[in-house]
Amino acid sequence: MRYRSLGVKTLRSAPQEAESINAQLLLRGGFVRQEMAGVYSWLPLGLRVLRKVEAIVREEMDALGAQEVLMPALQSKEAWVTTGRWDTVDILFKLPSQTGKEYALGCSHEEVVTPLVQSYVQSYKDLPTSVYQIQTKFRDELRAKSGILRGREFIMKDMYSFHRTQEDLDAFYARAIDAYLRVYSRCGVQARVVEASGGVFSDKFSHEFQVLTDAGEDLILTSPSWKYGQNQEVATLKEGDACPDHAGETLEWKKGIEVGNIFQLGTRFSDAFGMTYAAEDGTKQPVIMGCYGIGVSRLVGAIVEASHDARGIIWPAAVAPYRVHLVTLRGKTPETQAQIQKAAQGLHDTLTAKGIDVLWDDRDEASPGEKLADADLIGIPTRVLFSEKSLAEGSAEVKRRNLVEAELVKFEDLLEKMGL
């Protein structure tokens, strides 16, 4: 991809309203544009990151055996009245229609998925089953100020599972925890499994997945090497207590970003809709449910919060918008200019043929300094620079975004030294 085709320009400084690091860097790098508080457009670079995160989420949910669906954002008021949530969920956007009817704009999908799955589950033979979607959610958040971490419109993966027994739900729930941890580690961030309250959706414990960074809104009691923790709202341990898992470590409060949350719903929603199945003995039994959310767009923001430096974002390779940032500097003569173009084109074509995506900054008008600053800001893992100077050595300059030093690498060694 040629840089100029992106049509996006980086900004030297972040707009004033961008208080958080993720908003500053994503806005400056041209990944997103803020349309209004808590509402963002995803621009070409940002959308590539979002799509890569989505693909990882999709693979892991598919591996759990869940089926992907896409449910409507526009939901019937009657379903929300049926569950008793029309008047109790404060962040629910309610939409009047010119027909006099009212609708809900989906902040979650229990009210849609329960009747949907109810329509094809009749007997014990139809269970267990699970569906998920990756979709836009709407929430009337009072304060939307942490960039894409808290939007009024955002992308969520939500999965719902349906079971005959508590044991069956427990087993699926445990597999979901493992799948979630794989999602986060594949996205290049470490998330901890944290006990939290059930919130508005259930009165049991829920499990959150928290990425520890100072940008987080939540307070988590955990220790340096513990993979678990307790949210402040339910903590039974206290600061200074010995870590239950690691001798010699004590618990401390850390800030975290909630990038996922899973709940056991029990029969809360199946009861509301009268969703039952015929058991082997012919009796009607209630269906037991679980729900599993990942804040997909928030996760992109959490990655930025966890992985950046003063110059810009440092994308983990698996979610980087491109794997290689190719930079060509202008040659002083038509001959050297042609040589630089030819060498860069050769590398570009080789990488592309191998399925490695390349962003090529071929701008004439930008100075070398601007090009390098933009490469740092955009944060692609490997930068390869062709200049008159490197060409004189039969080389290109390779620099990893997470390292300080650049290295001159002979053309023939380039592929090997790029760490792809």
Which span sits near ligand ATP by CB under 6 A: 26-34, 44-52, 78-86, 256-264? 256-264
In this structure, the strands spanning 153-163 and 288-295 are antiparallel
Closest to Mg ion by CB, 261 vs 390, is: 261
Residues forming beta bridges with residue 137, ordered by sequence position: 154
- CA–CA distance, 256 with 254 (Å, rounded to integer): 6
- CA–CA distance, 312 with 375 (Å, rounded to integer): 9
Q: Which of 30, 46, 260, 266 binds ligand ATP (CB under 6 A)?
A: 260
Kindly state whether residue 202 participates in binding Mg ion, applying the rule CB under 5 A.
Answer: no
Closest to ligand ATP by CB, 129 vs 135, is: 135
Report in angstroms how near the CB of residue 258 gets to Mg ion at its nearest.
5
- CA–CA distance, 25 with 305 (Å, rounded to integer): 9
Write the CB contacts of 101 (distance below 8 Å, at least 6 apart in sequence): 77
| Residue of minimal Cβ distance to Mg ion | 261
Kindly state whether residue 259 participates in binding ligand ATP, applying the rule CB under 6 A.
Answer: yes
Kindly state whether residue 235 participates in binding ligand ATP, applying the rule CB under 6 A.
Answer: no
Closest to ligand ATP by CB, 144 vs 414, is: 144
Kindly state whether residue 264 participates in binding ligand ATP, applying the rule CB under 6 A.
Answer: no
Q: What are phi and psi of 227, to 5 degrees?
A: -85, -5
Kindly state whether residue 261 participates in binding Mg ion, applying the rule CB under 5 A.
Answer: yes
Closest to Mg ion by CB, 107 vs 384, is: 107
Which span sits near ligand ATP by CB under 6 A: 6-14, 17-25, 113-121, 259-267? 259-267
Q: Which of 293, 312, 321, 379 binds ligand ATP (CB under 6 A)?
A: 293
Report in angstroms how near the CB of residue 260 gets to Mg ion at its nearest.
8
Residue 260 binds which of ligand ATP, Mg ion, none (CB < 5-8 A, kind-dependent) = ligand ATP
In this structure, the strands spanning 358-361 and 382-386 are unpaired
**DSSP string of 112-159, one letter each residue:** HHHHHHHTT--BGGG-SEEEEEEEEEE---S---SGGGS-SEEEEEEE
Report in angstroms how near the CB of residue 158 gets to ligand ATP at its nearest.
7
Indicate the DSSP class of residue 13.
Answer: S
Write the CB contacts of 4 (distance below 8 Å, at least 6 apart in sequence): 362, 363
Q: What's the maximum distance between 2 C-alpha atoms anywhere in the chain?
A: 87
Report in angstroms how near the CB of residue 208 gets to ligand ATP at its nearest.
7
Structure tokens at 46: 């940002």
Residues 50-109 that bind ligand ATP (CB under 6 A): 108
Report in angstroms how near the CB of residue 157 gets to ligand ATP at its nearest.
8
Give whole-number Cα distances, 42 to 6, 36, 59, 105, 218, in Å: 13, 13, 22, 21, 26
Kindly state whether residue 150 participates in binding ligand ATP, applying the rule CB under 6 A.
Answer: yes
* Site for ligand ATP, rule CB under 6 A: 108, 139, 141, 150-151, 154, 156, 199, 258-261, 293, 295, 297-298
